[in-house]
Structure 1
């Protein structure tokens, strides 16, 4: 049975499970009734962030840059419609390969062309992030975001971070207006 988190909760990943190395981060969502004439294309991304809270352009993993040069983080591909059951997008993380200068990996979701399509996270429900031990296929953590969003077009869903040599997970659920550009600016990347 996975640990179910609330916004702001933090939980150890490796302290009680020292053999944990490979995790699968699954992100999923459903779209409320929407009749705008466009598909609802949500995109998961990961920012590998240093001690200064910033990421370098090569440390931004998304649909156009699927794998980090270290091999530590790999996006499994873009789902253009979000239809179907289960995870809509997945990101694999090998904790043992994360470069020593990286202190956290933030997992985000944005709405592609949100302004043009007049879409926002108020039109999305059942959004979640889950952490799975890839070796045993056991779901360890689940965080359901709830319905806290209205006009936001980007969300930092959660992050894994290093604390005293151990990896932890933080359920964030923080929304942004301005889509992917706002997230990139938040993590110090000038253009995305």
Structure 2
């Protein structure tokens, strides 16, 4: 049973999954808004390149590592990216970031997931956008956060995985931002650490 998250909501991953999670996948999916053709004919959509990224932070809230389309694996090997999807074409997740929670070093306090429009379009040109957390062991969706709030922003802080009393939890951030890559969001991310 998946939980539909709302902005600001926090959940315990183990409670939602019904067992201790060892590997999770953060999936990102989207479609470009189709333009209206003449009398409904010739409708088409522009390619929109959304990028999923995650930034890893320590107890002092300092960035330790980043996983994105230019670095598909964390230096410690605990996090990996599926690769860059430049159009959002196709069904299901367009990009995925897999986190092996058991391999995440103990000095890691939080992992923040972001999505950026690398091509610079605003989210007003994107529809059906979501991020979801999947239990990699059984493929079941644990939580979903719809990113369908459209507007003139070109980025969004999606969610934060964080350790609390030895347990992994998730905080749905859902905060709009501006920037083509994760590094332009770092000052905004710092407010949620």
Interval containing the TM-score (normalised by the shorter chain):
0.7 to 0.9
In 1, Cα distance between the equivalents of 2:108 and 2:15? Answer: 19
What do the CA deviations read for 1:148-169 (whole angstroms, capped 9, x no partner)? x422111111111111110011
Secondary structure class of the residue paired with 2:70: coil
Count of aligned residue pairs for this structure pair? 181
**TM-score, normalization: structure 1?**
0.86
**Deviation string for 1:56-91 (max 9, x for gaps)?**
3xx111011000121111001111111011101001
Q: 1:33-76: per-residue Cα shift (whole Å, max 9, x none)?
A: 259996211111010112233313xx111011000121111001
Look up the SS of the partner of 2:124 in the other structure.
Answer: helix
Q: Which runs of 4+ in 1 moved over 2 A?
A: 14-19, 33-39, 51-54, 184-188
Which residue of structure 1 aligns with residue 75 of structure 2?
69
Q: Distance in 2 between matches of 1:28 and 1:37?
A: 16
Q: Find the structure with the greater CA-based Rg.
A: 2
Q: Does the residue aligned with 2:14 lie in a helix, a strand or coil?
A: coil
- Point out where structure 1 has 5 or more consecutive residues left out of the alignment: none
Q: 1:54 to 1:154 in 2, by over 3 A?
A: farther
2:84 aligns with 78
Task: Report the Cα offset of residue 187 of structure 1.
Answer: 5.2
Q: 1:60 to 1:187 in 2, by over 3 A?
A: farther
Could you list the runs of 5+ residues in structure 2 that have no partner in the other structure?
A: 37-43
Alpha-carbon spacing, 1:99–1:150, altered in 2? closer, same or farther (3 Å): same
Residue number in structure 1 paired with 2:39? none
What does residue range 115-130 of structure 1 map to in structure 2 within 5 Å? Answer: 119-130=121-132
